[in-house]
Structure 1
Amino acid sequence: MKRAAVVMAVVMSGLCLLPACFPHDYIIVQTEKNIKDAREYCRNKYTDLAVVQSKEHLDKLMKLTGLNSFWIGLNRDTDAWTWSLEDETYYGEGDTKFPMWEDGYPIDHTNYKSCVMMAQNGKWKDDLCGNIHNFICYKNSTEGTSETSPSFIRVNTLMTWDAARAYCRNNYIDLASVRNQTENDQIKNMASNSWIGFYRNSWRWSDGSEDVFDNWLPETPSSDLDASCVAIYTGKWANSRCINTRPFVCYNRRTEMKVVKVGLKKAGPSVDMEELGEEILNMVRIPKYQAQTGRLIPERP
């Protein structure tokens, strides 16, 4: 009868790729850096700037730091364009992805919030939301007639994007959404650098994960055009200029350890089972994780 050997191997689980799925440790760095240098430091030595996805994460972080103000990894999401009208039933498949950008747009303004206007040629341009333009409201389909296409109305009063949206919502439904070429052409005939409902006002974490934990200070994010990065002030988010320097917190992703049983069958008399088992263990052996510091400590020989 052929002998069989069993090797117990400890491996690291990598099934979950979202930061929130991993337990992780925070590392406090007292040296003050701007956000770019802080991010580079964290990525070189650990995983990234701190991600805080829950009240539990926040409580853990605040107990460790003892700091009043420090950088975390939250920053503006320059790709998160969306429509002001949030009614999902209004949009069919692909309707929210209809792009009509003018060449060279969108412009990557340094501010986190940017809004869109339609030019006379029907192309879209992003602009600072605090600038003033006339705007196009969505008035809904014409009731009591056979017309089923949505109707739009131009308002000639000059307003900021936020004021225009408030006006449209108070008097009609919302700022105009553009779902297809037909609607774009319809609005083009009345637009002259007019606000429509497309805008960007979103945040994400430095490692690419979405911001799902709302923890902003009252009246933040502020309207400072350069305040595109986020620091913690007394346990709450506040946006700040990225060139400012302050202490920061990194995080290190901790993966779970699992035990895998591997059965080996002896194929011939020349095979040394103990030597083969040791060779396999060497192939899968991974440095131990020291949770107290968040550092990887190499396996001792």
Structure 2
Amino acid sequence: MEKVLLIIVALSGLSAVSSHAERQYHFVYEAKTMSEAQRYCREKHTDLATVDSMEVVELLNNKLDPNKLSEHGNIYRVWIGLYDDVDSWKWSMSDTSFFKPRETEFRQWASGEPNNKYSVEHCTHIRSNDGLWNDRGCAVRMNAVCLDVRGPNATFVVIDSYMNWTEAQSYCRENHTDLASVRNETENQQIVELVPPGIYWIGLYRDSWKWSDGSFSPFRYWAGGKPNNINHNEACVAAAFHDSGKWEDSDCGVKKPFICYGPVPVSRQVIKVRVEKPNGVDLNDKAFLDAMLVEAKKNLRAQGLDDNVKLAWRKQPDGQVFHKEEEKKRDEL
């Protein structure tokens, strides 16, 4: 059999701090407001930390240096990238052709609304007595106003059945067009004249907690009783490391240390291996190369290789991976 020189390039992630192969977390112990911290993280790293699993929570708990927090007189509360997007109101009716320019922006809020009391008021009801709107917790049960669309015309329908906002939305979509979208003062007055005394769901709602980097994760790790928006301005989130890294809503203007994340540095290692070529086998065939990588990964894993390590072939200038080894060169190796 011919002896052939095999070259494998190993991309090692063993130096990564995070078990998430794509992220490395950085504690910054200098206190900044949430917006200042976000700007710093985006300039120096990638963004404020996205914490999307208990694995990351445990990693951050282990990485924290409490002595450095104490130096700044901080009681272990550190900004992460979660925030409440208080300006994200939109209509349940998603057909943009229903709205003329700026009609999606029509609002008829009562004085002091929306106030997002207790950090849970993400849906909207209309009051029959004056036609003004309040934000409200979406789980509250009340009657609703549905919308029937026939071409450019909109007809409102009162639903005399107590439902939470999500149930009302589903009912209106199944039996009419959607929950009521209110495009102007005229339509708002139409609803006031239609409904009996009381309060009624309409289709305005907002997205709630979001990550600074735009990623989505349903994972939450709130401390007991949080979020509560106790001061009516707590739209940002800090991890409380005196409480196992659990989250608390907080005033975005308060200065705190913070956590950034960035990509994990990738080290590169070249491994050279000699193999004997089986008769009739094209060692540069893609199927054969793929099968060899699988076997190589199994062997390296058995020796304790981290799963974050990636194996790839390094091709020579002529595009081939395998080359027949010269007798003289082999004697020198």
TM-score, normalised relative to structure 1: 0.55
Match of 1:217 among 207, 219, 223: 223
Give the CA deviation at 1:48: 1.0
| Structure whose alpha-carbon radius of gyration is higher | 2
Give the CA deviation at 1:72: 0.6
Report SS of the residue matched to 1:262: coil
Match of 1:232 among 236, 239, 249: 239
**Contact 2:127/2:133 (CA < 8 Å) preserved in 1?**
no
Paired AA for residue 237 in structure 2: V
Residue number in structure 1 paired with 2:194: 190
Deviations 1:209-241 (A, max 9, x none): 123212111211113321000001122111000
Task: Give yes or no for the alignment of 1:261 onto 2:261.
Answer: no
Give the aligned CA root-mean-square deviation in angstroms: 4.7
Distance change >3 Å, CA 81–CA 7, structure 1 → 2: farther
Give the total of aligned pairs. 215
Residue number in structure 2 paired with 1:77: 85
Alignment of 1:108-257 (within 5 A): 113-118=121-126, 127-129=134-136, 137-138=143-144, 152-153=159-160, 172-175=162-165, 176-177=168-169, 178-179=172-173, 180=177, 190-191=194-195, 194-196=199-201, 198-200=204-206, 202-223=208-229, 224-233=231-240, 234=243, 235-254=245-264
Distance change >3 Å, CA 265–CA 103, structure 1 → 2: closer
Give the CA deviation at 1:49: 0.9
More helix by share: 2
Report SS of the residue matched to 1:43: helix
Distance change >3 Å, CA 27–CA 34, structure 1 → 2: same
Distance change >3 Å, CA 35–CA 250, structure 1 → 2: same
Gaps of 5+ in 2: 67-75, 147-155, 182-186, 267-307, 320-333
**Contact 1:50/1:250 (CA < 8 Å) preserved in 2?**
yes
**Contact 1:47/1:252 (CA < 8 Å) preserved in 2?**
yes
Residue number in structure 2 paired with 1:31: 30
Q: Which moved more, 1:249-258 or 1:25-34?
A: 249-258
Distance change >3 Å, CA 12–CA 48, structure 1 → 2: farther
**Contact 1:115/1:126 (CA < 8 Å) preserved in 2?**
no
**Identity fraction in percent:** 26
Distance change >3 Å, CA 12–CA 127, structure 1 → 2: farther
